[in-house]
């Protein structure tokens, strides 16, 4: 079937060649990825729940008078 305007669309240009492993930009990208991974690992240790959320019972309700005294006393 033909096109309304005739002809076929031009083919896209070929992708640029992949950089070599010895290329400085590749080494810099690897270094940045290693640092980013280390930062993510450091934050993960502060997360106390799993991806599914907390598994225990939720504490719901108003704090009692003794709870308020505990927070004032330390």
The whole-number pLDDT of residue 6 equals: 72
Q: Please, what is the Cα angle at 49 between 44 and 50, to 5 degrees?
A: 85
The whole-number pLDDT of residue 71 equals: 60
Alpha helices in 2-64 (DSSP H): 24-44
Q: Is the pTM of this model over 0.85?
A: no
User: How far is residue 26's CA from residue 19's CA, in Å, rounded to a whole number?
Assistant: 7
The whole-number pLDDT of residue 70 equals: 62
Per-residue pLDDT of the chain in tens (74 residues, 90 and over written 9): 555 767 777 899 999 888 787 888 889 999 999 988 887 766 666 666 666 776 677 666 676 666 656 665 54
User: How far is residue 20's CA from residue 8's CA, in Å, rounded to a whole number?
Assistant: 35
The whole-number pLDDT of residue 14 equals: 92
At 32, list the tokens: 């940045």
């Amino acid at each position: 079937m033909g096109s309304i305007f005739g002809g076929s669309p031009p083919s896209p240009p070929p992708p640029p060649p992949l950089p070599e492993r010895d290329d400085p930009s590749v080494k810099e990208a690897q270094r940045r990825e290693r640092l980013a991974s280390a930062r993510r690992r450091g934050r993960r240790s502060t997360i106390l729940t799993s991806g599914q959320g907390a598994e225990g019972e939720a504490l719901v309700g108003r704090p009692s008078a003794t709870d308020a005294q505990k927070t004032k006393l330390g």
